[in-house]
Amino acid sequence: MAPMAGLRRTALRVAAAAVVVGVALSPASARLACRNTGSFERWLVEFRKEAAANGVSARTIDVALGGMTLDSGIIARDRRQSFFSQSFLEFSDKLVRNRPDSGRRKIAQRKAIFEAAERRYGVPASVITAFWALESDFGTGMGNLPVLRSLAALAYDCRRGDMFRGELLAALKIIDRGDLRPEEMIGSWAGELGQTQFLPSHYLAHAVDFDGDGRRDLMRSDADIIASTAAFIVSLGWTRGEPWLEEVRVPDVLPWDQADLAIQHPRAQWAKWGVAYAGTRPIPPDRMPASLVLPMGRHGPAFLAYPNFQVYLKWNQSLNYALTAAYLATRIEGAPAMNRGKPGLTGLSYEQLKELQRALTRLGLYDGEVDGKLGAGTRASVKRAQIKLGLPADSFPTHDLLERLRGDGKPSSPRTRPATQLR
């Protein structure tokens, strides 16, 4: 299974929420709790008609869907609540490891193809290779399930049927135009295909025949994989010749509320505030817009994220994933390992994050799911709480903040606040 199989892209990210009897369900919870009516067999008959009406050949429909049965395990897997409470350092440590070296080896092996792709699309080899490494370890972990059967189950299910009907239809069109045979479509449980794990709709729209053999083969052809990944990245908004992420050091004093992906300042302003590159090279005092990203607060790693970084968030909206992929690309290009920040820096556990979210909700600072995930909504609410309490507003929840919120936002006594906790 692909290393990133549990971290689906934005289109597939619907947070699972606990269903509480007697409480109005959120839209996400309602989808999770929906019940299927009608048989899969009857649904499949109707879908075959829909595929034919959308121009898919009768032969492809018969070959791909003939004898198809429902895989209820896929539906159960999609509905199963999953949660992640890893910090950015824990997450990136597990996923980066030896991949800078393997990425550089892959670039050396396919140097001419990467250079041709960069000339056409403007996406550096390191950026493509980082996604390739994280998504499948260069093809060793693409998944082992029949994609068509997975897509059929998800398209039949009431939870996200409309979305997956479109993906199943796209998969049939991929077969119809001769790119892949049904038996070649082996991938993740969520229906993603190829060595950089494209949804079928992305495969259909952005796959490129870069080796000239008449097929767009993202399962085996390195040339097609490289160029198609570049084409997809460009479709997400990549700008040729611009940076995406650079590690920086932050001073002890800074307007911390400005450290936010939603806020950009020219590099000249960050330099004026004392932000500096990790090495000896000064930050150019120019107008290049950048956001300061502190994934573990002001005591942890720090990065300037440029407009191209938004591509990473469109590929996968998890901040930990996006930062890891962007950071890995810089490492492949030769950047040193990041500064890990203050020793002993840790985040909240899954249960502590849920407690934090409940406390923020109680104070009217959070209106999202109590899911134990440190997403954008929770970070924004943490920032509001820090401002309310007069704390540095770096958007990172600490044990000290949680303790204060346990008292409904009233500062705790120095005698009761553990001295080891970070403020």
**pLDDT by residue for the chain (423 residues), tens digit each?**
444 444 444 343 333 222 222 334 445 555 567 899 899 999 999 999 999 999 999 999 999 999 999 999 999 999 885 555 789 999 999 999 999 999 999 999 999 999 999 999 999 999 999 999 999 999 999 999 999 999 999 999 999 999 999 999 999 999 999 999 999 999 999 999 999 999 999 999 999 999 999 999 999 999 999 999 999 999 999 999 999 999 999 999 999 999 999 999 999 999 999 999 987 788 999 999 999 999 999 999 999 999 999 999 999 999 999 999 999 999 999 999 999 999 988 889 999 999 999 999 999 999 999 989 898 999 999 999 999 999 999 999 999 999 999 876 554 443 333 333 333
The tokens for 24 are 């109005």
Please name which of 250, 245, 238, 222 lies closest in space to residue 111, comparing C-alpha atoms: 222
d(CA 81, CA 95): 23
What does the pLDDT read at residue 83?
Answer: 53
The whole-number pLDDT of residue 416 equals 35
Query: Tokens 């009768």 map to which residue?
Result: 58
Q: Which of 31, 156, 160, 8 is nearest to 82 (CA)?
A: 8
pLDDT the model gives residue 410: 56
- The sign of the dihedral angle between the CA atoms of 175, 178, 181, 184 is negative
What pLDDT is attached to residue 28?
Answer: 52
**Residue count (the chain):** 423
Q: What is the pTM of this model?
A: 0.88
Question: Is-contact 361 371, C-beta < 8 A?
Answer: no
Model pLDDT, residue 408 = 62
Q: Looking at residue 417, what is its pLDDT?
A: 35
Alpha-carbon span 126 to 162, nearest angstrom: 36
pLDDT of residue 407: 76
Per-residue model confidence (pLDDT) at position 346: 87
Report the run of H or E that residue 76 belongs to, with start and end.
helix 72-79
> In the prediction, which pLDDT does 18 show?
28
Residue type, 130: A
Let me know: does 254 contact 273? Beta carbons within 8 Å: yes
325: part of which helix (H) or strand (E)? helix 319-332
Burial class from Cβ neighbours inside 10 Å (0-12, 13-18, 19+) for residue 375 reads: middle
Dihedral angle sign, alpha carbons of residues 322, 328, 333, 334: positive
Cα 305 to the center of its chain, rounded Å: 16
